[in-house]
Structure 1
C-alpha cells in the first residue's frame, strides 16, 4: 500500500517540509487565508509540531522512488526513460484515470504523457516551484 504523505513550503522560511495534510481554522493567530496546516517532524528527535505551509506548493507523494532513492512527488520535474528515450516531464495527478503521470505540460496529455510505473528509469531533477526552467530543456 502506498504511503499517503505530502510536502509543502513553510510560510515562515520557505523551506520544504514533509508530513500530513490537515486543514483547520483552529488557533488564535489565524487569518481566513491561513487555513492550511501540516504537522511535520521538526527535528531528528521525532518531535511533532504544526507548521503553516503555502497551500499552492502542496504536493502528494507518488509512492515511487527514483533510481537514486529519492521520493517522487507530484509537481516534480523528472528525466524519464520510456522506450529507450529520455523525456523531461513534470509529475501530475490525472483525476480521470486516478494515477500519477508524467507530462510535458505543453499538450493536455495526448501522446506526450507517460505512466510513471511504465518508465524504465526516473530521476528527479527539480520541481515546478524552484526549477520551472528545467521544463524548457526538452
Structure 2
C-alpha cells in the first residue's frame, strides 16, 4: 500500500515538517505524524512548498538514510545524460496521474508541470535538494 505523506516549510521558522496536509480558508497546514494527547497540532506552512511523497526512495545510502532518501514533489535530481545535462525536477503529471522528472528548461516553459514531457522517476538517482531550499541549483542550471 502506498504511503500518503506530505512535507512543507513552516511559516514561523522555515523548518520542514512532515505529515498530512490540510487546506482551509485560513491557510495550508501540516498535521505531523506523531501521537498527541488531545487535539492534533496544525502547523501553518507556505503552500507553494508543499510536496507529496512519491512512494519512491533515491539511491543514496547513508547513516541518515539507510534505505535511501524519500523523493517528494519539488525535489531536484542532478544533470543526467538523458536530460542533456540539465537538472531534473520531480513533478506530478495530472494527465498520467503519476510523478515524473522534468528537465529544468521544460519545467520553466510549462509553468512548473512539464506538460506532457518528462521521464519516469529514476530511483537510481540521488536527490540533491529541492526547489525551495536550493534555488541556487536552478539558477546555476539556467546559466549553463
SS at match of 2:12: coil
**Bigger mean CA offset, 47-56 vs 90-99:** 47-56
Query: In 2, are the aligned partners of 1:81 and 1:121 still within 8 Å (CA)?
Result: no
CA pair 111-60 structure 1, distance change in 2 beyond 3 A:
closer
Higher strand share: 1
Structure 2, unpaired ranges of 5+: 61-67
CA pair 19-105 structure 1, distance change in 2 beyond 3 A:
same
SS at match of 1:4: coil
Query: In 2, are the aligned partners of 1:80 and 1:123 still within 8 Å (CA)?
Result: no
Say how many residue pairs are matched.
124
SS at match of 1:56: helix
SS at match of 1:124: coil
Q: Which residue number corresponds to residue 23 of structure 2? A: 23
Q: Does 1:123 align with 2:123?
A: no
Structure 1, unpaired ranges of 5+: 26-33
C-alpha distance in 2, partners of 1:110/1:49? 36
C-alpha distance in 1, partners of 2:20/2:116? 34
C-alpha distance in 2, partners of 1:110/1:96? 9
1:36 to 28, 43, 59: 28
The offset of 1:79, in angstroms, is: 2.6
The offset of 1:112, in angstroms, is: 6.1
The alignment's C-alpha RMSD in Å is 2.7
Q: Which residue number corresponds to residue 8 of structure 2? A: 8
C-alpha distance in 2, partners of 1:7/1:123? 18
The offset of 1:86, in angstroms, is: 6.8
Which TM-score applies when normalising by structure 1?
0.75
Query: In 2, are the aligned partners of 1:82 and 1:121 still within 8 Å (CA)?
Result: no
